[in-house]
Structure 1
Amino acid sequence: MNINLLYDFSVDRENQIIHITREFNAGPELVWQAWTTARLLDQWCAPNPYRTETKVLDLRQGGIWQYAIVSPEGQKHWSRHDYQHIETRKSMTELRAFCDEGGQVVPGFLPTEATTTFEEAEAGTRVTIHERYGSQEIFEKMATETHKKGFSSHLKNLDRLLLTLQAG
């Protein structure tokens, strides 16, 4: 595994945008699969020691991914991604929001618009995420070194999963 994979996390405070770029030592097809398959997302998409639990994944324009981030004590924090646009193996745009277990968005919550792109890179695949926050409060919570480290943690979980999938 290439341990020097690109990871860039930059904050544009003026426009309330976080830009994240990360390279993975696997091809775009496998990275896309890990990013869009419930059983695989549940294996990597949470910072340690938390885990992800998917309730619904309907990967299509107009579909949603509803999931909980589960604490080691079992407390669930619900979120949903509403897919606005999907170009298979290339990009997706979604509106992200906190919700309840039934999928109802928290009242008054302004969603985050996120566009994720997948492209071939020397290491294998470069994933770029642009998160435009509708809420100043949520942006301030996410534009921190703590969030950067947490995000890096769950991307390292993806590195480990990709190695397992490639070996399998």
Structure 2
Amino acid sequence: MNNDLLFDFNVDKAAKTVFIIREFNAGLSLVWDAFTKPELLDQWGAPAPMRAKTKYMDFKVGGRRFYAMISPDGQERWAVQEYTSITPKINFKMYNSFSDKNENRELQGSEWDYTFNEENGRTKVNITIFNESFERMEKLLEGFRIGFTMTLTNLENLLSALSEKQ
């Protein structure tokens, strides 16, 4: 991990919101693609030793991504992400909820807001996650912090490898 890149993870329990800022040593177009194209998302979107597998993704307002995080022993944890707003290469918002393999959603999801900004060849991603349920947030928080930190490190490594090929 490149230690001079910004990484900030804060929780406002009263507001049921997580705030993440992560900087990547890569251009905006590449970082945007990594968050919005399934073939790239599947390369970084799960904490090791798990892997991500997108069943389908339609990146447009009202579109959805249906994917699983799969453990080494084959257990699947499915989720649905529904895109609610997209401003290309600047911002997108989605509603995320866990589901079963048939897309039956669990109650209590979260609203995700991603904002992208490039300066001097580095791209900063601001992520705000609002949880409908304080209890859900509390239950997931520590594991989420560890897992999401790992996935962002996966992304940093992928971006580094892709940048070297360019």
Percent identity reads: 39
Note if 1:161 corresponds to 2:148. no
TM-score by length of 1: 0.93
RMSD of aligned C-alpha atoms? 1.4
Q: How does 1:103-114 map to 2 (within 5 A)?
A: 103-106=103-106, 109-114=107-112
Q: How does 1:129-168 map to 2 (within 5 A)?
A: 129-144=127-142, 146-168=143-165
AA partner of residue 123 (structure 2): T
1:11-37: CA deviations, max 9, x gaps? 001010000110000011100001111
Contact 1:23 1:121 in 2 (8 A): no
* Match in the other structure for 2:118: 120
**Alignment gaps of 5+ in structure 1:** none
TM-score by length of 2: 0.94
Number of aligned residues: 165
Contact 1:57 1:65 in 2 (8 A): yes
Note if 1:30 corresponds to 2:30. yes
AA partner of residue 120 (structure 1): E
Runs of 4+ in 1 over 3 A off after TM superposition: none
* Match in the other structure for 1:93: 93
**Alignment gaps of 5+ in structure 2:** none
AA partner of residue 164 (structure 1): A
Contact 1:23 1:123 in 2 (8 A): no
> Residues 123 and 14 of structure 1: is their aligned pair in 2 closer, same or farther, counting only changes over 3 Å?
farther
